[in-house]
Chains A and B, each alone.
Chain A
Amino acid sequence: MNTIDIDVGGTFTDLVLSYNGEFVFKKMPTTPYDLSVCFLNVIEEASKELDMDTEECLPKVDLLRYSTTVAMNRLIERKGPRLGLITTEGHEDCILIGKGAQWVDGTRVSERRNLAVQKKPEPLIPREYIVGVRERIDSFGNVLRPLSADDVRKKVHYLVDKGVRGFVVSLLWSQLNQSHERMIKKIIREEYKEFYLGYLPVVLASDVIGRSGEYQRTMTALLDAYLHRAMQIELSAMWDKLREYQYGGPFMMVHNSGGMAEVFKTDAVRTYSAGPVAGLIGSYRLAQDLGFRNVIATDVGGTSFDVGLVVEQNVRNYEFRPILDKWMVGITMLQTMSIGAGGGSIAWLNELLGNRLEVGPQSAGSYPGPVCYDQGGEDPTVTDADLVLGYIDPDFYFGGRMLLNREKAEESIKTRIADPLGISVQEAALLIRRIVDDNMGAAIRKEINLRGYDPKDFALFAFGGGGPTHVAGYMGELPESVIFPFSPVFSALGSSVMDIKHIYERSKRFMLMEPGTRKFTSEYQEFNAVVEDLVEQAQKELSGEGLPVEKAVFQLELDMLYGGQVHRKRSSSPVMFIRSPEDVKAVYDAFEQEFSETFSPLVVHPEGGVYVESFVVTSSIPAQKPELPSYELQEADASAARKGARACYWGNGTSEETPVYAYEDLKAGNEVAGPAILEAEYTTVVLPPGFVCSLDKNLFGRIRRVQPGTGGK
C-alpha cells in the first residue's frame, strides 16, 4: 500500500511517503496563512524525489493521513463564530468560574507564582450569550424539573436577537439523560428553519462526550463548536485540491487518543497535540520491532521538548486533566509531557537571583527566531549556542537552504551572557547548552520517576530536528539512545503506523464490589447491556465509514474508583463482558494494579466498595505494519563517510578540530566515537567526547556513553 503521512507543525511541515516499499522523508516550512499550500508543497517535493510530479504521484497513493496542532493554535486568535450557550438555570456561570483557579490551566509552575498578574482567559462565550433554561435532571438521571419549552423559546430568541449564530447545549447530568438536550435542539430547529437565517449549528454536549463533570463536558462541546467551522473550511480546501489531483483514497486525521478517523468525522478537540502523540505511537511500534520493552520518546522542536513513555510495550497513559490551550476538557488523550525547551529557547540572566543563567521557557519562535537566522532576533538561543560551539554548520542548516549568521550569534551571546558573567563566549555557549540539556534530562527523570520506574530500564528515542543534536546531553543515566534517519520527521512516521481507532464512552455508576462485605456484583446483565450498546454503536459507525468491521478489535476500559474516594482511574478490562465471579475478579484485579501504580498502594481501599463510573469501548482496525529496511552489517570503520572536519568547542578552554561525517554515507555496522559531528539534511548529530554512535542493521544510530579515548570498545 502506498501512503502519505503529513504532520503540520508550527515551523515545519513533515512528510513520510511510502511508495512501493521505498520511503521518502521531506520537511518544508509551514505556511500559516494557508495550510493547504505547505501541505501540497511537501507532497510536490516528495514526488520529485520519485521522479514524478504531484499529478502523477497522488492517484497512486492509497491512504493519506494528516496530523496538525495548528487548528487548535487558532484558538489563541479567537476568530471562532459567535456562539450561544444554553445550560441549566442556576448554573450559567459554570464555564466562567472554571473550577475556581481557571487561570492556572495551561500555564507552567513558574508562570503561576506571581498572583498580581494572573487573569482568567477571555471566555469563548461571554456571559451575555449564556442563558439558563428551566429544567433539572438529578444525579440518578431522573427528571426533577421538567423542561419548560416556553422558556427555551424565549431564551433562544434572545440569543438570536443578540447575533448568535450557533448553539452549544450543555445541561447538568445530560450524560445520564439526554432527553432535555434533545428537546432543546428540536425546539431550535422548529423555531429557526434553515431558510430563515442560514444554518444554525446546534452541538449537544452529551453527543460530544458522555462523561460526568459539567465544566469539562461543556468546554469540550464548546471548543468543538468553536473550531468546527474553521477546520471544515481548511480541510475542505485540502480535500478539494487532493480531488483535483485525482487522489481517490481515504483522508484520515490523527487523534490525540492514539487513533485516527476520517477527517470529516473528527471532532476538532481530538486533533490537539496529535503530533507528539503520533511520535509516541511511532515509538511504540518501533520499540516492538527493536525489542525494547520500555522506551522514553523525546522530541526536541523549536519551542518545546515533548516526552512520552512506552512502558512494557504499552502506551495506555491518559492525561489526568487534559488541557487544550487554556481549557480543561473531558476527552481521552494520551499523556505526553511538554516543557519550554528547544532550539529557539532564549538564554537570559536572572538579575534578581545573582545573574543566574536561565534558558527558556520563552522562545524566539520561528520569527524572528534565533539571532543567527538574521531575521531581527536579538536574544541568544540554544541554536545560537550550538552554532557558536561549531556543532552546526552555518552553510548546511536545513540542507543548506537557510544560511546562518555566526557573527551575530557570537555577538549576542557575548554582550548578553558572557560579558556579564565574566566568561568566554564559548564557555557561555557551552553553559547555555548544558542548562537546556539538563532541563530536558530533568523532565525525563521526572516522567519516569513519577510513575515509579527506574531510568536504567529505559531506552531513549530522540527525534525532532533538535533531538539528535542534544540527546547526548540530556540522556543522563539512561544506558542507550536511538536516533533514526527519519528523526526529524518522526511524528509523520508515527501516524503511518497508527491504527484506525474510535472511542465510545458512557457514564453510568455501577457497583462492582459491595462496600464493607467486599462482595462482587452478580448484576452481569446491567454491566453487559452498556457494553453491548457501545459495541453496536461502534460497529454501525465502522460500517458507515466503509471500514472492515470484521477486522475490528474491541477493547473495554472502565473509569473506576473506590467508594468514599475521589481518585478515578481508567483501567483496561481484561474481559469485554462479565459472566462469572472470575470475570468480575479479573476486572477488579486489573483495576487495583493500575490504581496502585498510578496513585499509591496506600490508597487502595476495597473496604469502601468499588464502583464503575464510565464505560469506554475502543474499536480499532489495526494498521499495516511497514517492514523496516535491513542492511548487512559492515566493518566499524566509518572513514568512508567522513566529509571533513571543523573546530568545535567541548570545554577545556580551546576548540578542537572535530571530524564531520555525512550521515547518509554511513553504513550498517559503522561506529563513530566522539568528539564527532554527523550531518544529515535536516539535523545534526552531536557526539561529545566520551560517546560513541554505532549504526545498527536498520541504519539507526545507537548512542551510548564510553570512557573517553576507548572508541566504541
Chain B
Amino acid sequence: MAIMSPEEKLGMLKPAPADEDELRCVESLAPGDYEVGFERMNNILDEAMEVFVRSSRSSMGIAGDSMVAVFTAKGDLANASCGTFLHAVIQPVLFKFILKTYKDNPGIFDGDIWFTNDALYGGIHNPDVVVKVPVFYEGELIAWTGAAVHTTETGASEPGGMPINANARFLEGMNFPPFKIGENFRIRDDFIEVMGAFGIRAPQMVIIDLKARATAADRARRRIVELCREKGVDYVKGILRKMLMVAEEGARKKIRSWPDGTYSCVNFSDGVGLEKGLVRSSCLALKKKGETLTMDFTGVSPENPYSYNAHVQAVVGHISNFVFEYVFHDLPISSASFAPIDFIFPPSSCLNPDPRAATSCAVMISTGVMSGLHNCFSKMMFSSSDMWSQASASQGNAGNAMVLAGLSQWNLPFADMLAYSLNSEGQGGRPSMDGVNAFGFPWCVYGRTPDVEEMENDLPVLIPLSNHWKDSCGHGKYRGGVGTVQIWVAHHAPQVFFMSISDNSKMQTPQPLFGGYAPCTVPGISVVGADIIERMKSNAEDFTLDPFHMLAEKTVSGQWMHEFFARATRAFQKGDVITFGFATGGAGYGDPLERDSKLVIQDLKDQMISDWTAENVYRVVYDKSTLKLDEQATTEARDAERKARLDRGKPYDQFEKEWMEMKVEDSILKFYGKWPTGEVVNPVIRM
C-alpha cells in the first residue's frame, strides 16, 4: 500500500522548487503581465466558485462552505477562491500522491476526473469531498484544478456525515483514497451509483453535490485552457509559478517583522464522542526565528477511540483558516505561504493518530488548535509596529452542529445539518474594539444563517425564540461578540429525529487574551412533553420568551433534560422542545475592569450583558431603572476589586508550587493521557 506517513504528507505541503522551464516562463512575463494574469486567475476561480455554489444541493454547499483552486502541474496550490480556507493549502498532498503513485497506472490524461474523501490520504475528514481534474494544453500537463465541499451524508453509522460514536474508520461510511472516477470529461455511471448507495439517506443531495464539484473544477479548467489559447501556455505557467513566489516572499516578509521567541498556549475540550472527559486538544509552542515558524504540538492528548482525531494535514488545514483570515489576509491563497512554516505533531496523538483511527469529527478536535493560534500569534504580533491590530482573542470555535431528520410537513424525507447556530458564533475581542456579535461560522466565515421563516417553512419546527445570547461572550476590556440562542419545538409533524455534535459543554475551548475571560459554556437542554405551545396559545401573563427567565423559573412544564451538548440520535414528539440551539460567544480581550464603563452601559441597553455581569464582572455602578452611570462609585468599586485581587494574590513561587501539585480527578482523565504531560498511557487498539 502507498499510504503516506505523516512526515511525507507534511513534506508534500512544501512547494516543489521551480524548474528551468518554470523560471523561463516567469522571466518571459512582461511588466504588467503578472498583475493582469493574477486578476484573471482570480476571476476564473471566482466564476467557478459561483457556479459551484449555484450547482450545490447541501446546506454547506449553498452556504459557500467550499473551495475551488488551481494548482501547478507539480500539485502546488497557486491560488484559490474560498468560502473556507480549510481545504486549500493541504490539497497538494492529494495531487502529489496521484502524480507519484498513478502516473503510469492508470495514468493521468486529459479529461480525467479524480475523487477523494479519505483524510488518511490528505483531506480534512471524510465528509469533505474533493474532485480534481488535470489541465492539459496541447498534450502537456500544465496545471490541476480542484473543488471541495463538505457533504452531510457519507453512509456512516449515524446520519449527518460526522458520526460521533465511530471508534474506527470502519464505521465512518465511505472513505475513498484518490482514484479516477471519470474519463473524457464524464463521471462514470457506476461511480454515481456507488455514491448514491453510500448516500442512501439523502442520495439526491450526495449525487448533485458530486456533479457540482466536477462542474466547478471543470469550469476552472476550461477557462485556463482558454487563457492558454489567448495568451500562450508560457504565460499561464509563468503566472502560476510567480504566484507561488510572491506568496512565499510575502509570508517571509511578514514573519521577519515579528520578534523572535517562543509563544505558547494550551486548550482543552471536555468530551469525545458521547463520553465526557478532559482532553488537551492543543498544546502549541510557536517558535519564531528569522523568517521561519515552527508549530510544535508536543503535549496534546493521545488519540481517542472516537472520531475526535485529526490527521496531520487536517490540522494544518485548520491552521490555514486562522492564518489566511488574520495574518496572511492580503497574500494569495497559496500553499507557498506555508513554505516558511514547519510542524511537529507527536505520534499516536489526537492530532496525529493511527491510520485506522476514526477522524470524521476532526473539525471538533481541531477547535483547540484554531483557538490556540489566536493566542500565540497575538502575543507574537502585538509588539510589531504594523500588525499589532491583528492581535485578537479567539472566535467561539465551538461548531455545535445540530442535525434534524425525518419527514417534513410537506411529506418529504430530510436529513441535514442546520446552519443557524453554526453561522452565528461570536468573534473574539480585539485590541481596540469588541468582537463582532453573531459574527459567523469560524470554519467558513462568509456563510449565512437562514431566516426563521425559511427554517419553519422547510422543516417541521417552530422557533419561538431566535435572539442574541446574552452574556455568552468572554468578557474583557474589549469583550468577545455574543452568540445566539434559538428554541426548536417539534411542530407540524408527529415526530422529528435529532442529534448534535460538540466537544465542549462544561468548559470552553477558547482561551481569553491579555486578562480577558473565556466565553460561557454550552449546555444541552431539551424538554420532553413540553407545554410551550399551550402556554403561547393561552398568552399567560407569566410566560415570556426571555431564555434566562424560562430556564430559571422553568416556565415550560415537562421533563427538562440537562445534558452534554453532544447527543446521540433520538426522536422528539410534536410539541417537545427539541433543544435550545446555542451558538457560542467569542473570547474576551484585556481586563474587564479596564472596560470603558460607558460601553458597559451600552451593552446593557443593547441587552448583550446582564445586570449581574455589569455589577460582578465589570464592577460598574449605575441606576438599574434609568441605566444612569455613577462614575465615582464605579471608580471606587473597581479600585476595591483591584485591591481585593491583590489580597487574593500570592507570590509567584508559591503559586507555581501549589499549581504544580494540583491535579484534576482521575475520573475525567480517561482521554487525557498521562497527567500532566499528556503522553500515551494505554494505546488505542482497533481491530
Contacts and interface: CB of A to CB of B under 8 A. Distances in A.
Do the two chains belong together in a single complex? Answer: yes
Interface of A: 89-94, 96-104, 109, 112-120, 126-128, 132, 134, 136, 138-140, 144-146, 148, 172-173, 212-216, 350, 352-354, 356-358, 421, 423, 427, 431, 434-435, 438-439, 442, 445-446, 449-450, 477, 509, 515, 563-567, 598-600, 602-603, 605, 607-609, 611
> Size band of the B side of the interface?
35 or more
A-B pairs, top 6 by smallest CB distance, nearest first, are: A90-B545, A600-B55, A101-B440, A90-B465, A114-B329, A145-B536
Given A90-B545, A94-B466, A120-B436, A146 B539 contact: yes
Interface stretch (B21-29, B35-43, B119-127, B282-290): B35-43
A173 B412 contact: no
A173 to B, nearest CB: 6
Contacts of B189: none
A212 B454 contact: yes
Contacts of B468: 93, 96-97
Contacts of B38: 356
Contact of B537 (A114, A144, A356): A144
Given A90-B487, A114-B329, 12 more contacts: A97-B449, A100-B423, A101-B439, A127-B605, A214-B451, A352-B330, A356-B38, A435-B32, A446-B47, A600-B215, A603-B212, A605-B204
B247 to A, nearest CB: 9
A561 B390 CA distance: 43
A126 B606 contact: yes
A173 B536 CA distance: 16
A120 B246 contact: no
A119 B250 CA distance: 26
B637 to A, nearest CB: 24
B383 interface: no
Given A127-B607, A128-B606, A599-B54, A100 B539 contact: no
B575 to A, nearest CB: 12
A119 B433 CA distance: 9
27 contacts: A89-B544, A90-B466, A99-B423, A99-B451, A100-B423, A101-B445, A113-B329, A115-B392, A116-B392, A119-B436, A126-B605, A127-B606, A138-B462, A144-B533, A145-B536, A212-B453, A216-B451, A353-B331, A421-B31, A423-B31, A431-B31, A434-B36, A438-B40, A563-B410, A566-B59, A602-B212, A603-B208
Interface in B611-626: none
A628 to B, nearest CB: 35
A96 B412 contact: no
Contact of A427 (B31, B246, B392, B448): B31
By secondary structure, the A interface counts as mixed
Nearest to B433: A119
B324 interface: yes
A567 B447 CA distance: 15
Interface in B471-488: 484, 487
B157 interface: no
Of A90, A104, A450, A600, most buried by chain B (CB within 10 Å of CB) is A90
Contacts of B446: 101, 104, 112
A566 to B, nearest CB: 6
A11 B141 CA distance: 50
Interface in B143-165: none
B324 A113 contact: yes
Contacts of B329: 113-116
Interface of B: 31-32, 34-36, 38-40, 43, 46-47, 50-51, 54-57, 59, 62, 204, 208, 211-212, 215, 223, 230, 246, 249-250, 253-254, 324-326, 329-331, 389-392, 409-412, 414, 423-424, 427, 430, 433, 436-441, 445-454, 456-458, 462, 464-468, 484, 487, 491-492, 533, 536-537, 539, 544-545, 605-607
Given A100-B438, A515-B412, A442 B43 contact: yes
A442 B39 contact: yes
A605 B208 contact: yes
Nearest to A357: B35
B423 A353 contact: no
Contacts of A358: 35
B412 A136 contact: no
B4 to A, nearest CB: 31
B113 to A, nearest CB: 14
Given A101-B445, A446-B47, A96 B423 contact: no
A144 B462 contact: yes
Nearest to B442: A115
A311 B355 CA distance: 54
A567 B35 contact: no
B207 to A, nearest CB: 9
B223 A449 contact: yes
A564 to B, nearest CB: 5
Of the listed residues A100, A114, A598, the one surrounded by the most CB atoms of chain B closer than 10 A to its CB is A100
Contacts of B441: 100
B208 A566 contact: no
B451 A213 contact: yes
Contacts of B208: 602-603, 605
A136 B537 CA distance: 9
Contacts of A477: 230
